[in-house]
Structure 1
Amino acid sequence: MSDYETIKRAIEFLDSRHTPPGLEELATFLGLSVFQTQRLFARWAGISPKRFTQAIVAEKARLKLLSQENVLQTSLDVGLSGPGRLHDLTVNVYGATPGEIRTLGADLTITWGYAESPLGLALIAATPRGICALSFLDNESDEGPLARLKKEWCSATLYRDDTRAEELSALIFSGFRGEIADPIHVYVQGTNFQIRVWRALLEIPSGEISSYGEIAEKVQSPRASRAVGGAVGANPVAVLIPCHRVLRSNGDLGGYHWGLERKRILLALELKDPV
């Protein structure tokens, strides 16, 4: 059985359990020793089985909190002993308390719209604190980017303003036209690990590239190249958080959420004339 199939069985097992299992119980289910289970998770995900289990339980809790379930009930539903354990878990994984997750985006107005860009049509969304989404799409009938925005900021008030989106597009891509680009703030949310990866991406200078393994080293998780790839792919703000500057260690382009052609164009523009 491949590592992927074994990990898939582990996830299905974790999802089926009301109370998070211990390492020995998980190893027994997988037909492995405790040592083999630890090696498997380190090799495949770059993290320990305990950390992996915490991430799955935390995501279950996050979805329940976003659906406005109260903190006590959420704690019990995901198999924790009470709000204190839930608090420790969500702060550890997301850097936010259960209450903060539950009210995420409350009293926040997000202005969003469609705008043309050098890379085609873009959906751009902004809060008073900064850009919170920048996605590329082929046409407005592609509802994926807007659906993602609504899901990630489910408690916020969304207001469409294409004129403002056009203004932001001009500002964001001014550097690609040879103009002096003004600093642009972003306002994003993610797990602690995702935020660390995105910060590492911001440190890659324009005109240079890095690899998933090098990013893993920067965030002090040298075995977590696969998890780094997941965090890079989850980047909600294209270009401004330059996930396009990350390639595979063999030089292949790897993936890009908004299409490899756009990744090639961005890299060519920056390598020719760093922004």
Structure 2
Amino acid sequence: MQFVQGQHVSECGRASAGVNPIHANMETDMKDLERLVYGFGDTPHGRIVVARSESGIRAVLFGADNAALAEDLAARFPDADLVPAGMGMDRAIAQVVDVMLGEAPVGELVLDLKGTAFQLAVWDALRAIQPGDTASYAEVAAAIGKPGAVRAVAAACAANPVAVIVPCHRVVRSDGSLSGYRWGVERKRALLAWETAA
């Protein structure tokens, strides 16, 4: 496992050196619906939906088709005003796909992640795992200063809303075997193989 050099995002959301900027927020009770604009696209690893707020990309999800993706997005963000953008999301989707293909640096994407302080710390640590490398859940827990929180790290990985860009697929068991992946173990295997071959 190789983490990039630099500080991890703190609870206030400071970005790691060498990693894309992130607008991180603690979860709060939202009385007003937040507007998230979304659109669909294709990648070598399947169909995706990309959703963004005014501050940055909030979600990248894999799914079988547009209907399944829209349903997953609505389930993940029940308190958001979800607005289909049509071609208005083309540039953002193209950027996400280029990053997935290794044709653009991840630093070109601005993320707007929301979660608990622990989740944000885990997601930031994941972004420090370089393509072609993997880390165990125990190594991620140690990297954020919580060596006893291995199961909580796994839960934070499962809650990750930004596939590939926040690379939870690069986290494996301590023996190197693949564990569960929200979008399927076979997709996880394919993503790792793709990155290793790149």
Instruction: Indicate the residue corresponding to 1:146 in structure 2.
Output: 73
- CA deviation after TM superposition for structure 1 residue 235, in Å: 0.1
Residue among 18, 25, 30 paired with 1:102: 30
In 2, Cα distance between equivalents of 1:195 and 1:175: 21
| 1:159 aligned partner, one-letter code | V
**How large is the RMSD of aligned CA atoms in angstroms?**
2.0
- CA deviation after TM superposition for structure 1 residue 202, in Å: 1.0
- Output one character per residue of 1:88-129: Cα deviation in whole Å (capped at 9) or x when no partner: xxxxxx945xxx4233xx374211122222211111101121
- SS of the residue corresponding to residue 258 of structure 1 reads coil
- CA deviation after TM superposition for structure 1 residue 176, in Å: 4.6
- Show structure 2 runs of 5+ residues with no match: 1-24
Residues 1:111 and 2:42 aligned together: no
- SS of the residue corresponding to residue 101 of structure 1 reads coil
Q: Compared with structure 1, are the counterparts of its residues 195 and 120 closer, same or farther at alpha carbon in structure 2 (3 Å cutoff)?
A: same
Residue among 163, 180, 183 paired with 2:108: 183
- SS of the residue corresponding to residue 174 of structure 1 reads helix
- SS of the residue corresponding to residue 102 of structure 1 reads coil
- CA deviation after TM superposition for structure 1 residue 146, in Å: 2.1
**Higher RCO by CA contacts (8 Å cutoff, separation 6 or greater):** 2
Aligned pairs (5 A) from 1:8-157: 95=26, 100-103=28-31, 106=32, 108-142=34-68, 144-151=71-78, 154=79, 156-157=80-81
- The number of aligned residues is 172
In 2, Cα distance between equivalents of 1:230 and 1:238: 15
- CA deviation after TM superposition for structure 1 residue 178, in Å: 5.2
Does the aligned pair in 1 maintain the 2:74–2:82 contact within 8 Å?
Answer: no
Instruction: Indicate the residue corresponding to 2:86 in structure 1.
Output: 162
In 2, Cα distance between equivalents of 1:188 and 1:263: 22
Instruction: Indicate the residue corresponding to 1:264 in structure 2.
Output: 189
Residues 1:223 and 2:148 aligned together: yes
Residue among 142, 167, 171 paired with 2:95: 171
- Output one character per residue of 1:119-143: Cα deviation in whole Å (capped at 9) or x when no partner: 1111110112111011100123325
Q: Compared with structure 1, are the counterparts of its residues 213 and 195 closer, same or farther at alpha carbon in structure 2 (3 Å cutoff)?
A: same
Q: TM-score, normalised by structure 1?
A: 0.58
Residues 1:208 and 2:133 aligned together: yes
Does the aligned pair in 1 maintain the 2:26–2:114 contact within 8 Å?
Answer: no
In 2, Cα distance between equivalents of 1:176 and 1:240: 7
The share of aligned pairs that are identical, in percent, is 36
In 1, Cα distance between equivalents of 2:29 and 2:175: 39
- Output one character per residue of 1:123-177: Cα deviation in whole Å (capped at 9) or x when no partner: 11011211101110012332541222432xx1x4321013234432221121454
Does the aligned pair in 2 maintain the 1:115–1:165 contact within 8 Å?
Answer: no
In 1, Cα distance between equivalents of 2:101 and 2:165: 16
| 1:123 aligned partner, one-letter code | V
Structure with higher strand content = 2
Structure with higher helix content = 1
In 2, Cα distance between equivalents of 1:180 and 1:194: 26
Aligned pairs (5 A) from 1:226-237: 226-237=151-162
Does the aligned pair in 2 maintain the 1:117–1:169 contact within 8 Å?
Answer: no
